A and B are shown apart, each in its own frame.
Chain A
Amino acid sequence: MSTKPKVSVYKLSSCAGCQLEFLNLEPVLLDLVGAIEFSYFPMARRRYEPGPYDIGFVEGAVTCGEEIERLKKARQECRVLVALGSCACYGGLPSIKNWTPERVIVSRVYENPALVHSIKAYGIDEYVQVDAYLKGCPVNKDELVEFIKGTLLGIRPRLRPHSVCVECKLNEYECISVIKREPCMGPVTTAGCGALCPSRGKACDGCRGPANDANAESLARTFSEYGLHRSDIVRRFRKFAGLTQEFSRGADAV
């Protein structure tokens, strides 16, 4: 019987891209497997070991009653429960449906809506207590490893709480907003991705949700000055984390 800390990975409504990042950790995957035991990880292992688990990662938004049941069970069997990715943190991409009546959304997608029992998409902390949030679409691999190391050592992992701008400046990427006058979500979005999109000359999409003290209203006014239509501003703030207090203020600002 292994004495390594036991880790479980659950999936709710999501694209599986965040748990795939575990496998994309290839260069350190063997070291990681040396440090922890993936006891429940259906995407990677056929064999499951029963709980309790030391760390549980939950991917995806909650979009139906059955998922609430599974989530509550996951909470019970995990010492530390982590929201893995923006869907689990805030509702993520599935949450864009929340501003349209459920009936309309369901009939747009499914042939027989009577078979679907979906509810509004929320992050997992709507239903259970969450110990940590790993933001992003998908999560950042370095942050994921940083989190696991911190948890194993019993110290607070360093997850950057500030804006993407800080990482943009540290890496001296050309400012998408000031130079190109493109609507970049960087100033109000949590860093930790290494300013990935701006490093490729693309405006930040806000996938990591609101940064510390995000002033979304002010940024929305700037987007408006850049010529963005009100509906586009709303879409920007609702794409990944529209349910958060900060980004909903941005969506309502103009």
Chain B
Amino acid sequence: MAVTKSSPVPDMVVLSGELWQGFLELVTGQYRVIGPVRRGSEHVFAPIKNPREIDMAYVTTILPPKKVFHQPFQVLFSFDTEEGTLAEAQSGEEKVVWGIHPCDMHAIAILDKVYGVEYPDPYYLRNRENTIIVAKNCTEVGENCFCLSMGTGPALRSGCDLLLTDLGGRYLVEVGTEKGRKLLSGLELVPAPRVVLVEKEKRLSQARQKFKKRMVTQGIQELLEENFRHPIWEELMRECLACGSCTMVCPTCFCYNVVDKIDLDLKTGRRQREWDSCMLLEYAQVALGQNFRRDRDARIKQRMYHKLLYYEPQFGTLGCVGCGRCIGACVKRIDITDVVSRLAESVESDR
């Protein structure tokens, strides 16, 4: 057996007190870390300088951690029309995203299919490759969370490099990949006893009891297909502000627009992409002003039907992960779970 300087990192450790602080300092000292921090009364994923900035008790963030991989604004390349040259944007350094919840991890798994399979997207994939993901199971549940009924939480089974679970004052850290194991190297660690998994399961089943919101997913495809002309859509058309917030905060929305930012010399510039949204009127507008989804109800339906009906044949999964951000961001409190329940109820009462 090869002799290594430090002892090997076990698959499962429990960290608390100084050891946990030491771990945080080690990671934030070595990597560019992006983690949940408080902003006003909300939270955002932001670069961490001091480990104390991290708020591990966050429930949700304004934008999902998707923004690290599929960035709101991403420069694709810069150009010089006089020289006839293109320079591709350089990729960033290796970084760590800290504390991603299971719903957002499932959303990233969906984006991996969108941007990684049929038409591999080099920008997304590069951001994905140079990022180490530390996920965190949810032991607390937000008022808009419904991941339990989507099968995307509150516990994560796979897909991250390291997985944290809050055991109350101490954290269970499970190694998912070798990339994740690397983060722990340099610490003096002893393997956690298997019995700690019982404690973990206890915490998670307590969390499962806390959900107040649920989505009716049984027969949802049929329900939506048969109710395309239900009066509820007209009601939503009158309510919806078409502001686009629901799609901006969605962890599985992947649409973007491509724009050229030209310098004042009118010769050089950058081509960049930025998030776009099917809720916006101009999204489906084509030449001569024709618009395929001029009516607001058509756009509301497009959003909900895409997440709950059209995704499955495209990507083999539902497009909603139950993070509840669209509900929390809506000024009119339009609630996708409520829309589905009401459809189901009206069908039930018709029988």
> A-side interface residues toward B, CB under 8 Å?
28, 31-32, 34-35, 145, 149, 152-153, 158, 161-163, 165-166, 168-170, 172, 174-175, 177-179, 184, 186-188, 201, 211-215, 217-219, 222
Q: Is the CB of A213 within 8 A of B281?
A: yes
The answer, yes or no, to whether B244 is at the interface (CB within 8 Å) is yes
Q: Is the CB of A169 within 8 A of B328?
A: no
Q: Given contact pairs A165-B331, A211-B243, A212-B282, enumerate 16 new A-B contacts (beta carbons under 8 Å).
A: A31-B265, A35-B266, A162-B277, A163-B241, A163-B242, A169-B249, A170-B248, A172-B62, A172-B63, A175-B331, A177-B331, A187-B245, A201-B40, A215-B242, A215-B296, A218-B332
Bound complex: CA A101 to CA B324 (Å): 50
- Please report which residues of chain B, range 226-240, place their CB below 8 angstroms from some CB of chain A when the two chains form the complex: 238-240
The answer, yes or no, to whether B309 is at the interface (CB within 8 Å) is no
Min Cβ gap B155→A in Å is 27
Q: Is the CB of A219 within 8 A of B331?
A: yes
Q: Contact check: which of A28, A165, A214 meets B264 at CB < 8 Å?
A: A28
Q: Closest chain A residue to B325 by CB distance?
A: A169
Chain B residues within 8 Å of A152, by CB:
266
Bound complex: CA A218 to CA B330 (Å): 13
Q: Is the CB of A187 within 8 A of B39?
A: no
Min Cβ gap A142→B in Å is 10
Residue interface bits B272-297, CB-to-A below 8 A is 1, else 0:
00110100111000000000000010
Most B CB atoms within 10 A — which of A149, A168, A169? A169
Q: Is the CB of B331 within 8 A of A149?
A: no
A-B contact pairs, 14 of them (CB 8 A): A28-B264, A31-B265, A35-B266, A161-B280, A162-B277, A163-B243, A166-B245, A166-B248, A168-B245, A169-B62, A169-B248, A179-B41, A213-B281, A215-B239
Q: Is the CB of B72 within 8 A of A162?
A: no
Bound complex: CA A234 to CA B240 (Å): 20
Q: Is the CB of B264 within 8 A of A166?
A: no
Bound complex: CA A213 to CA B63 (Å): 24
Q: Is the CB of B281 within 8 A of A212?
A: yes
Q: Is the CB of B40 within 8 A of A215?
A: no
Min Cβ gap B54→A in Å is 17
Once A28-B264, A161-B282, A169-B245 are accepted as A-B contacts, the answer to whether A179 and B42 lie under 8 Å apart by CB is: yes
Q: Contact check: which of B40, B244, B259, B264 meets A149 at CB < 8 Å?
A: B264
Q: Is the CB of B239 within 8 A of A218?
A: yes
Q: Closest chain A residue to B294 by CB distance?
A: A213
Bound complex: CA A201 to CA B265 (Å): 36
Bound complex: CA A243 to CA B250 (Å): 35
The answer, yes or no, to whether B329 is at the interface (CB within 8 Å) is yes
Q: Contact check: which of B241, B274, B277, B280 meets A187 at CB < 8 Å?
A: B241
Once A170-B248, A177-B331 are accepted as A-B contacts, the answer to whether A34 and B264 lie under 8 Å apart by CB is: yes
Chain A residues within 8 Å of B264, by CB:
28, 31-32, 34-35, 145, 149
Q: Is the CB of A186 within 8 A of B248?
A: no
The answer, yes or no, to whether B44 is at the interface (CB within 8 Å) is yes
Q: Closest chain A residue to B61 by CB distance?
A: A172
Q: Closest chain B residue to A178 by CB distance?
A: B331
Q: Contact check: which of B42, B238, B242 meets A213 at CB < 8 Å?
A: B242
Bound complex: CA A177 to CA B328 (Å): 11
Q: Is the CB of A162 within 8 A of B40?
A: no
Q: Contact check: which of B241, B248, B266 meets A219 at CB < 8 Å?
A: B241
Chain A residues within 8 Å of B249, by CB:
169
Q: Is the CB of B241 within 8 A of A215?
A: yes
Q: Closest chain A residue to B242 by CB distance?
A: A213
Q: Is the CB of A169 within 8 A of B241?
A: no
Once A174-B42, A179-B40, A222-B332 are accepted as A-B contacts, the answer to whether A161 and B281 lie under 8 Å apart by CB is: yes
Q: Closest chain A residue to B39 by CB distance?
A: A174
The answer, yes or no, to whether B109 is at the interface (CB within 8 Å) is no
Q: Is the CB of A222 within 8 A of B331?
A: yes
Ordered nearest first, which 8 A-B pairs have the shortest CB separation? A169-B248, A174-B40, A165-B243, A187-B243, A187-B241, A31-B264, A212-B281, A163-B243
The answer, yes or no, to whether B57 is at the interface (CB within 8 Å) is no
Q: Is the CB of A178 within 8 A of B330?
A: yes
Min Cβ gap B316→A in Å is 29
Chain A residues within 8 Å of B187, by CB:
none
Residue interface bits B293-331, CB-to-A below 8 A is 1, else 0:
000100000000000000000000000000000001111
Q: Is the CB of A218 within 8 A of B238?
A: yes
Bound complex: CA A73 to CA B274 (Å): 41
The answer, yes or no, to whether B56 is at the interface (CB within 8 Å) is no
Chain B residues within 8 Å of A158, by CB:
259
Chain B residues within 8 Å of A211, by CB:
243
Q: Is the CB of A186 within 8 A of B266?
A: no
Bound complex: CA A34 to CA B266 (Å): 11
Q: Is the CB of B239 within 8 A of A165?
A: no
Q: Is the CB of A170 within 8 A of B275?
A: yes
The answer, yes or no, to whether B262 is at the interface (CB within 8 Å) is yes
- Please report which residues of chain B, range 46-78, place their CB below 8 angstroms from some CB of chain A when the two chains form the complex: 62-63, 72-73
Q: Is the CB of A218 within 8 A of B281?
A: no
Chain A residues within 8 Å of B242, by CB:
163, 212-215
Chain B residues within 8 Å of A219, by CB:
241, 331
Chain A residues within 8 Å of B63, by CB:
169, 172
Min Cβ gap A189→B in Å is 9
